[in-house]
Structure 1
Amino acid sequence: MNKKLILASGLALFSSVVNATENGTDTFALGAEGVLAGALPPPGLYLLSYYQHYQASEFVGSKGQSIIPNFNLEANAVVPRFVWMTEQKVFNGQLGFYAVQPLVNVDLKINGQKASEAGLGDFIFAPMLGWHQGNQHWAAAIEGVFPTGDYKASRMANIGKNYYTVRPILAYTYHQPQGWDISTKISYSMNSENKDTHYQSGNYFAADYAIGYQLYPGLTLGVEGYAFKQLSSDEVNGEKIAFKGQSLAYGPAIHYQQKGWSIEAKYLKETNVENRPEGDSTWLKLVWTF
């Protein structure tokens, strides 16, 4: 089994696509990470490619009730991520960097009104460190999300968010080469104010998880999902409002690997949602080594 490919899969812990915060959305890619989420690869250049389809037919309030009539959201994203792992050590961890540029298409329907937007999402850049000890792997990053995506306050749907986010990330993986993979990633996102709307989205915690078992060489089946919890209230013109989002998700996943490449697919269903869209997502991730 290609060691570089195994560890490259762990780079998935740092990606962002789509999907309470302003409009019940955020810049963190909930559920993107799975097998080997905490394992970073050896020095070199890497390309990881993601595809996400998200669909929600309800916007749920704080008591689980639908609060927006005739709501439907459908989003598709293609997300290339370029990664550079260096030979330099910092705090005894391997230093790396990554850059992400999502390409997103959003279709939104609310009570008979429709909006559709497509374009570049917000740009993401981060330094990261990785550590390895036997079957255990750790990773840490500080991610910056920059408001470069297309945005107009008057639009019903937007690709960009029009605010900055700083996001510390920690991840851990226990990986048996011919057995279990137990991985998790946790993050905490801190958002600036949207200067056009004077709306500041609250800070939030997000954690992805994966439990998988390798049934055959290169083939792993598992259960994956995520938890999202907003910890501080949103603010409008400096005044706090009682609007905090949360959600849980779970679903089946499959990971297949051959020399030089791997592919992972999953389906995730949301539950226990508050103040956010409630739906499901399908993920496809390709890892290429050079």
Structure 2
Amino acid sequence: MKRCMAKSRRRLVYPAVGVILAMSATWSDFAHADEGGVSYWLPGRFGSLAAAPTVPGWSMAEVYYHTSVSASGAAAAAREITIGRIPASVNVNVNLNLSAQGDLVFLNPTYTFASPVLGGQFAIGVTGLFGRSAADLSGTLTKSLGPVFITQTGSISDSITSVGDLYPQATLKWNAGAHNFMTYVTGDVPVGAYSPTRLANLGIGHGAIDGGGGYTYFNPETGHEFSAVAGFTYNFKNPDTRYQSGIDFHLDWGASQFLSKQFFVGLVGYAYQQVTDDFGQNPILGNFRSRVLGVGPQVGFLFPVGDMQGYLNLKGYGEFDAANRPSGWNTWLTFSLSPVAPTGTATPTRRIVTK
């Protein structure tokens, strides 16, 4: 009976949690590193059970994402340079502060194939977003033109409500008992609201491709779980600004403890580090390599929705040790629907029963 319950729990957890945490997502142009302090990759998009196989068929994940970040120094100056307020040929001393907020909704339909591919489970999906971003930039610029110095003080505010870029993704996952492995490829299709002269955008203005791999340990008998996914982003040149961001490395992780078949608590975190220099940046910015770390709590709950399985998750990150990028905090509220695993054990998987 214990073995049957263990199998049932695995089927209950994997379909719902794996769908959303393997989803493709990114966010608005005010947010992170590289050109103007903005990156394609959204740290935290993978988490607990990311590499665990799911139930074949269609699934849908929806995420409400809120963030509040700020920056000063080079990260703030980069935004003013990007929107053309600081000419590249002028020597400038800057004392700037940037603050930004975002409220976004991500939609991620995914199809998981039943037939194995290279011995693993293959899935494809695409993520779109809609929402609002707002940013404020204030401070003082001191420009030097030979022996002449000009000081300017002021502020710029901008906001936008629109749609963002599209983010296709493909994953391939393998299971070996408590051990699960994954490889993935994703990228940015730059079709969202973007202008190089705007302070706030919902697109990044250039294409990108990202790939990597992950691992999940999950023991359904003890409820112990740990996942980590690492990857690299290659950024293409922005055709509007002729700027090309460097290559980025990212690591997302999650650890959880299932207190019942329906409920778990845990921690999440990420590390983000740009590993090569940007091309086309203003000389006052230097190589402009970015970095940030984040960590925070998470809680998840699984429940039946008709013939489907529902999943709710709330997680939050506080950021620290940032360089050349805005930092602050962000929260994710996730709801997903996925197929229920076929009944093949003594405990029906459609009826979730607590311990």
CA contact (8 A) 1:92 1:131 kept: yes
CA distance in 1, matches of 2:324, 2:281: 20
Residue aligning to 2:137: 110
Identity of aligned residues (%): 25
Deviates more, 1:185-194 or 1:235-244: 235-244
The match for 1:94 among 114, 117, 121 is 121
Deviates more, 1:269-278 or 1:8-17: 8-17
CA distance in 2, matches of 1:146, 1:211: 31
Q: Counterpart amino acid of 2:15? A: L
Change (3 A) 1:29 1:4: farther
Matched, 1:9 2:9: no
CA contact (8 A) 1:198 1:237 kept: no
Show structure 2 runs of 5+ residues with no match: 1-8, 76-93, 139-154, 340-355
Change (3 A) 1:139 1:7: farther
Q: Counterpart amino acid of 2:332? A: W
Matched, 1:55 2:68: yes
Matched, 1:31 2:44: yes
Residue aligning to 1:203: 247
- Describe how 1:185-264 pairs up with structure 2 within 5 A: 185-236=229-280, 241-259=286-304, 260-264=309-313
The match for 1:155 among 192, 198, 217 is 198
TM-score (norm 2): 0.76
TM-score (norm 1): 0.92
Q: Counterpart amino acid of 1:94? A: Q
CA distance in 2, matches of 1:4, 1:257: 8
Larger strand share, 1 or 2: 1
CA distance in 1, matches of 2:134, 2:207: 24
How far off its partner does 1:15 sit?
Answer: 2.1
Residue aligning to 1:271: 320
Larger helix share, 1 or 2: 2
Change (3 A) 1:46 1:60: farther
Change (3 A) 1:250 1:227: same
How far off its partner does 1:60 sit?
Answer: 6.0
CA distance in 2, matches of 1:40, 1:103: 28
CA contact (8 A) 2:18 2:52 kept: yes
CA contact (8 A) 1:37 1:171 kept: yes
Change (3 A) 1:152 1:181: same
Residue aligning to 1:167: 210
Q: Secondary structure at the match of 1:3?
A: helix
Q: Aligned Cα RMSD in Å?
A: 2.1
Highest Rg: 1 or 2? 2
Show structure 1 runs of 5+ residues with no match: none
How far off its partner does 1:61 sit?
Answer: 4.8
1:199-223 deviation digits (Å, cap 9, x = unpaired): 1011101111111111233211111
Residue aligning to 2:336: 287
Change (3 A) 1:68 1:34: farther
CA distance in 2, matches of 1:103, 1:276: 23
How far off its partner does 1:5 sit?
Answer: 5.2
How far off its partner does 1:102 sit?
Answer: 1.4
CA distance in 2, matches of 1:4, 1:47: 16
How far off its partner does 1:73 sit?
Answer: 0.5
